[in-house]
């Protein structure tokens, strides 16, 4: 395998560092916002690395075993996608000692941490770019960027014209990765943080560095530092070009997210959903399909509960499907307690640590799903087989491992359904079927075939005993 084996067993938790937890108020900026102040595009709320370390027990209780951190390097914004020093932890988050303290404690607890790598662009304060602003055409760093004309204007009105920038934003000058010096610098950054203990990289907009040789070299350097490092790319359309030995182990699986949302919102039926999943699974090599970072929410999307207009049943249905399908399920911080909010910056609220503000129903459901996936090899690693029998408007599929079969049934419709279907001869008919997860009411009977009665907006999982050879 070229994909780290641990990824199939991972349950990720994404953290936006400024908004998760305070640990060291002494490093807060003097104008830090109150923790409960509404999120805005600018300003800081005081979350830091020690705050994350101090709340790892909360995450362990939830059931996660991996963390994806949004950028943590020195930058002038709260999102830190405009890096000014790739070798320095932002002092508002801590320092290298704080980073090591977090890594060591997380690894001791069995939690891996993946960092956000922003290598397509940097911030205006990055030293080669400031050198260009100071020296213009005489700068020794002018080949580090795509300069269209001199003088380079860092603060134009509107979009950047004198140099290329991400989506034209002048605050985000785009690297020229064709320059050997730029490549060497970025690759040294990638290697350095893996050597400092990071367990992989989530690559920001990697398709905008449309250079296969760069990513092949990037992969080689990272794996040379840690053969078990996970590489996941932010590729929204799921293009299979970006997975494999020359690129990434998996992608942020937005196509699967879109399919789940569409099914639960009844924009597509179970048959269309099954077709989409089949295509998603078979467009990648199996090891990459099972290494996808499968998400419902992120810092770039509306909060999932907001997308469902506060409907917790829909959210639970979506979560069940997320955890029942191949890939590493990922929870965006606060989704598990029912945080709401629109797109950036509203989806970046601070985490409320007063338990009276939590939706415990959603959190308990998330914990159940985490535990079930942890306890089931079939849910983590099993094959997927869709049931084609008389399943009406329900989605029915199996996760099959050598010693375990998990039956998954989802009825997103308002009306109840009665369905019947055959399984293959490998099922031990003398064993009782064990219901392991239930959302809503459903019953299951096994004689010569499987018979299920399931209420509307209900779902469940059951363990079926296969015949041992």
* Cβ within 8 Å of residue 397, ≥6 positions away: 274, 324, 384, 385, 386, 387, 408
Q: Is 234 a catalytic residue?
A: yes
Please choose, from the candidates 324, 452, 307, 318, the residue with its C-alpha nearest in 3D space to the C-alpha of residue 393. 452
- Of 18, 116, 204, 249, the active-site residue reads 204
Angle at the Cα of 304 from the Cα atoms of 298 and 306, rounded to 5 degrees: 125
**Contact between 166 and 145 (Cβ < 8 Å):** no
User: Nearest 5°: phi and psi at 376?
Assistant: -120, 105
* Cβ within 8 Å of residue 246, ≥6 positions away: 212, 215, 216, 219
Residue 116: which H helix or E strand, with range? Answer: strand 112-117
DSSP state of 136: G
CB atoms within 10 A of CB 110: 9
Please choose, from the candidates 275, 283, 274, the residue with its C-alpha nearest in 3D space to the C-alpha of residue 237. 283
Q: Is 204 a catalytic residue?
A: yes
**Contact between 268 and 412 (Cβ < 8 Å):** no
CA 266, CA 202: separation in Å to the nearest integer? Answer: 32
Q: Is 356 exposed, middle or buried (0-12, 13-18, 19+ CB in 10 A)?
A: exposed
According to DSSP, the residues that pair with 386 across neighbouring strands are: 397
Q: Residue 261, Cα to own-chain centre: how many angstroms?
A: 16
- Of 234, 335, 400, 413, the active-site residue reads 234
Phi-psi region of 37 (alpha: psi -120 to 50; beta: other; left: phi over 0): beta
Helix axes 254-264, 270-282, angle to 10 degrees: 170
Residues known to be catalytic? 204, 234
């Amino acid at each position: 395998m070229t994909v780290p084996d641990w990824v199939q067993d991972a349950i990720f938790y994404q953290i936006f560092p400024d908004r998760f937890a305070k640990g060291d108020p002494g490093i807060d900026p003097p104008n830090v916002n109150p923790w409960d102040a509404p999120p805005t595009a600018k300003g800081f709320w005081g979350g830091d690395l020690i705050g994350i370390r101090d709340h790892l027990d909360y995450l362990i209780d939830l059931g996660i075993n991996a963390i994806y951190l949004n950028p943590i390097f020195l930058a002038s914004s709260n999102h830190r996608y405009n890096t000014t020093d790739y070798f320095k932890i932002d002092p508002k988050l801590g320092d290298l000692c704080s980073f090591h303290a977090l890594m060591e404690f997380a690894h001791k607890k069995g939690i891996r941490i993946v960092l956000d790598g922003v290598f397509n662009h940097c911030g205006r304060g990055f030293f080669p770019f400031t050198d260009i602003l100071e020296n213009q055409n005489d700068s020794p760093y002018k080949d580090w960027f795509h300069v269209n004309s001199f003088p380079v204007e860092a603060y134009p009105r509107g979009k950047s014209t004198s140099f290329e920038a991400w989506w034209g934003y002048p605050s985000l000058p785009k690297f020229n990765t064709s320059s050997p010096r730029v490549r060497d610098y970025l690759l040294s950054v990638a290697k350095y943080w893996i050597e400092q203990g990071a367990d992989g990289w989530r690559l920001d907009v990697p398709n905008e560095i449309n250079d296969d040789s760069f990513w092949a070299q990037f992969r080689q350097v990272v794996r040379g530092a840690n053969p078990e490092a996970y590489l996941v790319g932010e590729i929204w359309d799921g293009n299979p070009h970006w997975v494999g030995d020359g690129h990434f182990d998996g992608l942020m699986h937005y196509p699967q997210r879109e399919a789940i949302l569409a099914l639960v919102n009844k924009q597509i039926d179970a048959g269309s959903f099954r077709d989409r999943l089949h295509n998603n699974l078979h467009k990648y090599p199996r090891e990459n399909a099972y290494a996808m970072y499968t998400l419902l929410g992120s810092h770039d999307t509306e909060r999932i509960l907001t997308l469902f207009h506060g409907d917790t049943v829909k959210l639970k249905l979506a979560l069940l499907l997320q955890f029942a399908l191949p890939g590493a399920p990922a929870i965006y911080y606060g989704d598990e307690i029912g945080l709401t909010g629109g797109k950036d910056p509203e989806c970046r609220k601070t985490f409320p640590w007063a338990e009276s503000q939590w939706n415990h129903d959603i959190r308990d459901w998330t914990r159940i799903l985490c535990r079930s996936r942890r306890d089931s090899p079939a849910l983590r690693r099993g094959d997927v087989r869709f049931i084609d029998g008389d399943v009406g408007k329900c989605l029915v599929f199996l996760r099959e491992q050598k010693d375990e079969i998990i039956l998954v049934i989802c009825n997103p419709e308002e009306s109840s359904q009665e369905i019947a279907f055959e399984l293959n001869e490998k099922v031990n008919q003398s064993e009782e079927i064990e219901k392991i997860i239930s959302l809503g009411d459903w019953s299951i009977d096994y004689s010569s075939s499987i018979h299920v009665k399931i209420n509307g907006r209900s779902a469940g999982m059951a363990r079926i005993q296969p015949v041992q050879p």
